[in-house]
Amino acid sequence: MTLFLSSIVLFVLIRQAPGDPITLLLEQPGDLSINDASLLEERKQELRELHGLNDNVFVQYKNWFTKVLRLDLGTSIWTGRSVAQEITTALKATLILAFAALVIQVVLGIGFGILSAVRAGGFKDNVIRLLCVMLASVPGFVLSLSLVYFFAVRYRIYEMSSDINLYRVWLPAMAAALTNAPRTIRVVRATSLTEMGQAYTLFSKSCGVSKRIIIRDIVRNSLLPIITVISISLVQMIGGAIVIESIFSWPGIGSYAVNAIMLHDYPAIQGYSMVTVTAIILTNLMVDVLYILVDPRLKSAPTNG
């Protein structure tokens, strides 16, 4: 039901946007028909009929959603290729970037979050909290441009291209991770401080249990909020880290969406929107399942009402 209602809202909003993709397509330099007004208008009508744009919006939606149910996202107006194939290629690039960024984010979040909690009120804690405030205050595009300047322009240890490989993914992944890491660090720190005040932690300390084991138990009992924060970052990345992908020329789904919007490519925009909404729904479902796996008590928890 969520996916169905979202498809209606997105379809209507996309159709209400100013501009006509067919006009933009035929007005590109080098088009032979642009020199003749009658031929231009005839070609417009042919393309509009081909892509079903002459039908009313209800018929267009019915035809489009019927194809979506068959996993057919239509054909791009600009490229003439299958939208599903184009999105699949772009989504693979985004998932590679998202996985690398999440690994870095988890390592930084748990590592510095635990260190900050253990050294609460001390010098290291203050430094970590200050860095979190600074990173959270810097816009993502400023951080990304700064990384490009230092690593690609000044020191030339990063190559700007449109290739998808390990030599290209580490810098945009670092930019994405540093953008989301402060939130993870704060959550881990706050949750760890709460767990440190619990009876089981105080009892373990009084029994002489090693600090490493106590920290392991604290991390284990702090997994639920950590999973929540990571899932939010994952949804943002799957939706497309548009700024990061554009700055680093990473051919992910965010860059694909920007190009589709600029060209008013209706099938491409609709396909991107549906994939993003579906990813959000599936991610939320996955998180609910992980909650139960991490803490089986939630499966039998009483509900209100």
Q: What's the pLDDT tens digit per position in 196-215?
A: 888 888 888 888 778 888 88
Question: Taking 90 as the threshold, does the pLDDT of residue 230 lie above it?
Answer: no
Higher model confidence: residue 98 or residue 305?
98
CA distances to 101, 281, 284 from 290, in Å: 20, 14, 10
Q: What is the average pLDDT across 222-238?
A: 81
State how far the Cα of 224 lies from the Cα of 210, in Å rounded to an integer.
24
> Both tokens of residue 266?
């209706």
> Both tokens of residue 40?
């231009």
Domains of the chain: 2-69 (no CATH), 87-260 (1.10.3720.10)
Question: Which pLDDT score is estimated for 37?
Answer: 67
Question: Which pLDDT score is estimated for 32?
Answer: 41
Question: Taking 80 as the threshold, does the pLDDT of residue 128 lie above it?
Answer: yes
**pLDDT tens digits for range 4-46:** 898 899 888 888 877 778 777 777 655 444 456 677 677 778 8
> Both tokens of residue 73?
């996202």
**Residue 82: beta bridge partners?**
75
Please state the φ and ψ torsions of residue 122, each to the nearest 5 degrees: -95, -175
State how far the Cα of 176 lies from the Cα of 230, in Å rounded to an integer.
12
CA angle 201, 204, 209 (to 5 degrees): 130
| pLDDT confidence bin for 126, thresholds 50/70/90 | very high
Question: Taking 70 as the threshold, does the pLDDT of residue 301 lie above it?
Answer: no
- In the chain, the amino acid numbered 265 is D
Question: Which pLDDT score is estimated for 131?
Answer: 92
Question: Which pLDDT score is estimated for 305?
Answer: 46
Q: Mean pLDDT of all residues in the chain?
A: 83
**pLDDT tens digits for range 75-110:** 888 888 889 999 988 888 888 888 899 999 999 998
